[in-house]
């Protein structure tokens, strides 16, 4: 079977394309829900996963693991241990080991539900910054390696695709299916989850593909955000909102706890889980109340609503009643969430203004807005986004045609990945960063790139730096000690020194310890692992030695090969 996976910080979704029905479906694996908590717990030597792990919160002797996806990019062992994991990558309960246990368990459940013996094609999604951020590129490689190690996954058919690219593919495919027309234009994705906010503007060109289906070129034009993806820590998103609301409600109830003490109590996270269940199950009730009063200043709202109607739900902590109020919910949202969301929406709006993108035009078909992610379903988030763009998620040409079923907004990443896994949709690959050789000419730096950021490229195909006349650049191989990288973090280009172990491997191209000239190029594989390619050059014949095998070095850990001081 083929699977598309949205591996989220707090929830994951697994989807597959059903050829017999010509539709994508999200698998309901646990308690008839497609939303699988990204949690693992360990008790008495037994691991539990997903909903089972989440339901055990608060039990004595329990070791819980959350947020392990984002810790794949964290190299500091002390930070890993501080968040409840073993520090080193090879340890039993490191983020890498827990990720492998979790994904392996969920994939086996998926195969069991379809009586499948193997996963033929797997597309798993990662944040866009995992392609563009030097600090997080290695996390993408780790995720690919984890999936390839599973004996039931065909390791050559594992692809790691960015979340906005997968979601854009799904929305553009929906447009084609619902209108009969290919989508040409921009899609603004506001992806708000448990730990992160990712706002991405993509450009989509769609074409008919030989043999059926559609081919797409999806380019990320701009992105901004906050939280784990952006800052390496849980940000002002769903988790912070729920934990702050829970903490302040408990303290307001008069229970004898200090804030710091409360967070250490295992029962606190059980309480947060119960609050989350109420927020998810009573979406319509929350919507009705806030629409009824239509006031989003907490004090004004509190003045208008009577005390009894202000009660959202009563929960229990340590046997005592804790009332969650709509006014308090609004107060926490305004304090913790509204400013961060507005700041990043404003950054994206500034970019679109500079590019003269008509994002406020309700009558056009070449600009779409989509809210995705679990926290994006919360009423106050939707209200703020809709107000910012004078947009209605239900009645607006800027939504029309891309969302056919309301609930698919939260499953769009996974469903897009499933279409890619089954090759119903193909997308054009673009370079996530620029890379080339750093050299000096007449004492001046010369930046010659093999490929540049967002350039269309083919996977597994070497690209070699070229001179202005199109001829190959020749280098004294043993003398190369610096590369040049240009990424989202370093848009002006960042010189990185090659560590000695890589320089030694590059010297293997030399013969008889004689200085050797060669051409040097780079490629990306299906997991966007960077490969270094080298071929010897025959100075007498003035040609590349085609009779010799090309040296191909996969740079599977950039931070092991480049001097981190220069990052």
Residue 512 exposed, middle or buried by CB count within 10 Å (0-12, 13-18, 19+): exposed
**How high does pLDDT run on average in the chain?**
87
Contact 346, 385 (CB under 8 A): no
- Number of residues that make up the chain: 567
The segments of the chain whose pLDDT lies below 70 read 31, 132-136, 227-235, 393, 510-515, 564-567
What predicted TM-score, i.e. pTM, was given to this entire model? 0.86
146, 99 in Cβ contact below 8 A? yes
Handedness of CA 246, 249, 253, 254 (dihedral sign): positive
Say if CB 484 and CB 435 are below 8 A apart.
Answer: yes
- DSSP conformation letters of 49-79: ETHHHHHTTT-TT-EEEE-TTGGGG---HHH
Q: How far is residue 469 from each of residues 451, 465, 473, 542, measured CA to CA in Å?
A: 16, 11, 10, 16
Residue 530 belongs to what H/E stretch? Answer: strand 530-538
Q: What's residue 48's pLDDT?
A: 96
CA 497 from centroid of its chain's CA atoms: 29
Which residues, listed in sequence order, are joined to residue 63 by a DSSP beta bridge?
Answer: 42
Write the pLDDT tens digit of every residue in 438-453: 887 777 877 789 999 8
CA pair distance 98, 96, nearest whole angstrom:
6
Cβ-contact 14, 26 below 8 angstroms: yes
Cα distances (Å, whole numbers) of residue 213 to 28, 173, 415: 26, 9, 15
Decide if 309 contacts 259 (C-beta within 8 A).
Answer: no
What is the side-by-side strand order in the sheet with 482-486? 444-451, 434-441, 482-486, 494-497
Strands 121-126 and 184-192: unpaired
Q: List pLDDT tens digits, range 481-493.
A: 888 888 777 777 7
Tokens of residue 128, six digits = 């866009």
Whether the Cβ atoms of residue 453 and residue 489 lie closer than 8 Å to each other: no
Task: List, in order of start, the domains of the chain with CATH numbers.
Answer: 2-232+340-428 (3.30.420.40), 434-566 (no CATH)
pLDDT at 212: 75
pLDDT for position 567: 46
Is the distance from CB of 523 to CB of 502 less than 8 angstroms?
A: no
Determine contact, residues 542/557, Cβ cutoff 8 Å.
no
What are all long-range contacts of 288-295, with beta carbons under 8 Å and residues at least 24 apart? Answer: 289/326, 290/326, 290/330, 290/379, 290/380, 290/383
Query: Are residues 527 and 160 in contact, defined by beta-carbon separation less than 8 angstroms?
Result: yes
């Amino acid at each position: 079977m083929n699977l598309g996976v949205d591996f989220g910080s707090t929830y994951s979704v697994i989807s597959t394309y059903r050829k017999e029905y010509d539709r994508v479906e999200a698998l309901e694996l646990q308690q008839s829900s497609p939303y699988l908590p990204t949690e693992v717990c360990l008790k008495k030597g037994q691991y539990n996963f997903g909903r089972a792990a989440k339901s055990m919160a608060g039990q004595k002797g329990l070791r819980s693991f959350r947020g392990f996806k984002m810790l794949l990019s964290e190299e500091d062992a002390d930070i890993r241990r501080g968040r409840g994991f073993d520090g080193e990558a090879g340890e039993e309960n490191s983020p890498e080991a827990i990720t492998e246990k979790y994904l392996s368990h969920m994939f086996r459940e998926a195969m069991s539900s379809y009586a499948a013996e193997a996963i033929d094609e797997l597309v798993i999604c990662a944040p866009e910054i995992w392609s563009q951020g030097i600090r997080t590129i290695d996390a993408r490689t780790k995720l690919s390696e984890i999936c390839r190690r599973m004996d039931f996954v065909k390791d050559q058919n594992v692809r790691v695709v960015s979340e906005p690219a997968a979601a854009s593919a799904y929305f553009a495919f929906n447009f084609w299916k619902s209108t009969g027309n290919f989508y040409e234009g921009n899609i603004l994705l506001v992806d708000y989850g448990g730990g992160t906010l990712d706002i991405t503007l993509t450009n989509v060109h769609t074409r008919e593909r030989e043999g059926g289906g559609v081919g797409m070129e999806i380019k990320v034009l701009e992105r901004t955000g906050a939280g784990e993806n952006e800052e390496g820590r849980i940000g002002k998103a769903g988790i912070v909102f729920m934990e702050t609301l829970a903490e302040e409600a408990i303290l307001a109830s008069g229970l004898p706890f200090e804030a710091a003490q409360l967070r250490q109590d295992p029962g606190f996270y059980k309480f947060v889980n119960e609050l989350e269940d109420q927020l998810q199950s009573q979406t319509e009730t929350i919507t009705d109340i806030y629409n009824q009063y239509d006031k989003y200043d907490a004090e004004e709202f509190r003045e208008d609503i009577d005390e009894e109607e202000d009660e959202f739900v009563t929960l229990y902590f340590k046997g005592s009643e804790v009332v969650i109020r709509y006014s308090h919910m609004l107060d926490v949202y305004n304090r913790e969430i509204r400013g961060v969301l507005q700041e990043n929406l404003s950054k994206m709006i500034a970019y679109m203004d500079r590019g003269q993108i008509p994002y406020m035009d309700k009558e056009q078909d070449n600009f779409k807005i989509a809210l995705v992610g679990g926290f994006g379903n919360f009423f106050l988030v939707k209200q703020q986004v809709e107000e910012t763009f004078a947009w209605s998620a239900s009645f607006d040409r800027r939504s029309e045609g891309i969302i056919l079923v309301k609930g698919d907004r939260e499953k769009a990443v996974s469903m897009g990945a499933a279409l890619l896994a089954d090759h119903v949709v193909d997308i054009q690959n673009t370079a996530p960063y620029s890379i080339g050789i750093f050299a000096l000419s007449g004492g001046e730096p010369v930046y010659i790139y093999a490929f540049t950021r967002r350039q269309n490229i083919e996977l597994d195909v070497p690209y070699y730096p070229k001179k202005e006349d199109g001829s190959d650049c020749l280098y004294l191989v043993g003398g190369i000690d610096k590369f040049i990288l240009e990424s989202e973090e370093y848009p002006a280009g960042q010189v990185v020194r090659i560590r000695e172990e890589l320089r030694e491997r590059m010297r293997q191209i030399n013969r008889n310890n004689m200085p050797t000239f060669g051409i040097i190029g780079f490629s990306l594989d299906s997991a966007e692992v960077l490969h270094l390619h080298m071929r010897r050059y025959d100075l007498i014949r003035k040609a590349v030695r085609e009779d010799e095998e090309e040296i191909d070095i996969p740079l599977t850990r950039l931070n092991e090969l480049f001097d981190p001081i220069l990052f």
